[in-house]
Amino acid sequence: MKYYSTSNRKLEVGLREAVIQGLAPDGGLFMPEQIPVLPDSFFASLPQLSFQEIGYEVAYLFLKGDVPDAALHRMVNHTLQFDAPPVHVHDQIHSLELFHGPTLAFKDFGARFLSGLLGYFAQQQDREITILVATSGDTGSAVANGFYNVPGTRVVVLYPSGKVSEIQEKQFTTLGGNITALEIDGTFDDCQRLVKQAFGDTELKQKLFLTSANSINIARLLPQSFYYFRAFAQLKTPYKQVVFSVPSGNFGNLTAGLLAKQMGLPIHQMIAATNSNDIVPNYLESGIFSPRASQATISNAMDVGNPSNFVRMQQLYQDDYERLTVDVKGCRFSDDQTREAMQKVYRNHRYLMDPHGAIGYLGLQNYLSEESVGVFLETAHPAKFKEVVEESVNDTIELPDRLHEFMSREKRSIQMNAGFELLKDFLMEF
């Protein structure tokens, strides 16, 4: 299958080029030339399929001819070594727990799949691959741990100083080896801008074999669709309409859900739930896309003022605003509303949500009927936001053993301002 640039549909490359380049030469994001639809037989057998079998069937449609079956099976099995269970919270509402991977966040799925794919491609060439990634929280930890000690790769994580939780920071600044953390004096949008500028710099691209592991990379996006199929298969009420509420920042997770829907998964409604960085909900209501500087919130992984994957959402609907707004509804919630939701759900149902999951939970409130079942995405373990969650629920959270181990290690990062020339000089000497 070919992959085209969202900035120029005539610019097409193969899978290997799309994955290694990460970002198209013209600054666009890569999209598959067509969205394959899974056969009716797949959906008939879906409840009986394992997570690995689901992942293979979905990935095969995009990767066949580019990756041998045996290698694809290894990648999928490596990616899906942990489950994504929909846990009943109350009434018609379920939490899709995406935090059972090694860094306790949903991005483990995409990062592990991408590391397998890039590791496979690295074996086909003599040059080392340098992976640049900007993070507002969990991307950095997932990518760093996914690529840690993968032969033929080096990882540089850019993150905004003071704007990620200590636990998140420790998960990617304590590894060493082939992982380097750059602590940027700025916002996530500054980090994302620097990564994009690096990909657009001819001199850097001549010296380094650059790629990205952000959700701008199509290989990060595809595996995020796996757990929508898995959730649908595990729900006890498949005859009901299924509504997914997705806490959204850079919109890769929601875009993956829309991809699953266009592949045939009968999702009734997608909810784009945001914090005060409500650029996409505003667009869904007005038709006007107006990026702005991000605002800091307690759901920091969603503090994005110019979401990259918005253009992919548009491409999936061929810029048809009416069709998009039928399938996707938007909503936004304040920090106070987020804290209140965490407190009430914990008090009344003894279910602990992190701030991002709480926004997803709130997103279901206006969109459920007697015929529907609601699923909100719980994207990270609440312990990763220990201080905020404990304060909200007025109770103590025990850290999982994996987080205890990270917290005991020494942070190692390089501080840098948000100017591109400093980043370029660093990478040229890297």
Count Cβ neighbours within 10 Å for each residue of 337-369 and write b for 16 or more, e otherwise: ebbebbbebbeeeebbbbbbbbbbbbbbeebbe
Residue from 2, 107, 205, 411 carrying the catalytic annotation: 107
Dihedral sign (CA 400, 401, 406, 409) = positive
Judge residue 148's burial from the number of C-beta atoms within 10 Å of its C-beta, 0-12 exposed, 13-18 middle, 19 or more buried.
middle
- Which residues constitute the domain of residue 306? 85-101+221-397
Helix (H, G, I), strand (E, B) or coil at 8: strand
pTM for this structure? Answer: 0.88
**Whether residue 207 lies in the annotated active site:** no
- CATH number assigned to the domain comprising residue 386: 3.40.50.1100
Q: Is the pLDDT confidence value at 154 over 70?
A: yes
- On whether the CB atoms of residues 15 and 120 are closer than 8 A, the answer is no
Residue 136 in contact with residue 188, Cβ under 8 Å?
A: yes
Joined tokens for residue 275 = 């914090």
Report pLDDT digits (tens) over 107-144: 899 999 998 998 888 777 777 889 999 987 778 888 89
Residue 381 backbone dihedrals phi, psi, to 5 degrees: -65, 135
Tokens read off for 79 = 């990616």
pLDDT-derived band at 234 (thresholds 50, 70, 90) equals very high
Q: Who wins on pLDDT, 54 or 239?
A: 54
Domain assignment present for residue 306? The answer is yes
Confirm whether 190 is domain-assigned: no
| Distance from C-alpha of 235 to C-alpha of 251, rounded to nearest angstrom | 24
**Residue with token string 């409840």:** 47
Closest by Cα among 302, 272, 295, 300 to 362: 272
Tell me whether residue 410 is in a domain: no
Which pair of structure tokens corresponds to residue 201?
Answer: 């710099």
Rounded Cα–Cα distance for residues 234 and 177 (Å) = 39
**pLDDT given at position 237:** 65
Total structural domains in the chain?
A: 1
* 193 pLDDT above the threshold of 80: yes
- The answer to the question of residue 274 being in a domain is yes
- Is position 318 within any domain? yes
Instruction: Report the interhelical angle of 226-234 vs 252-262 (nearest 10°).
Output: 70
Q: Cα dihedral sign for 234, 237, 238, 241?
A: negative
Q: Is residue 225 part of a domain?
A: yes
Residue 39 included in any domain? no
Q: What is the pLDDT of residue 371?
A: 87
Residue 213 belongs to some domain of the structure? no
- Measured in degrees and rounded to the nearest 5, phi and psi for residue 293 equal -60, 140
Average pLDDT over the chain, rounded to whole? 93
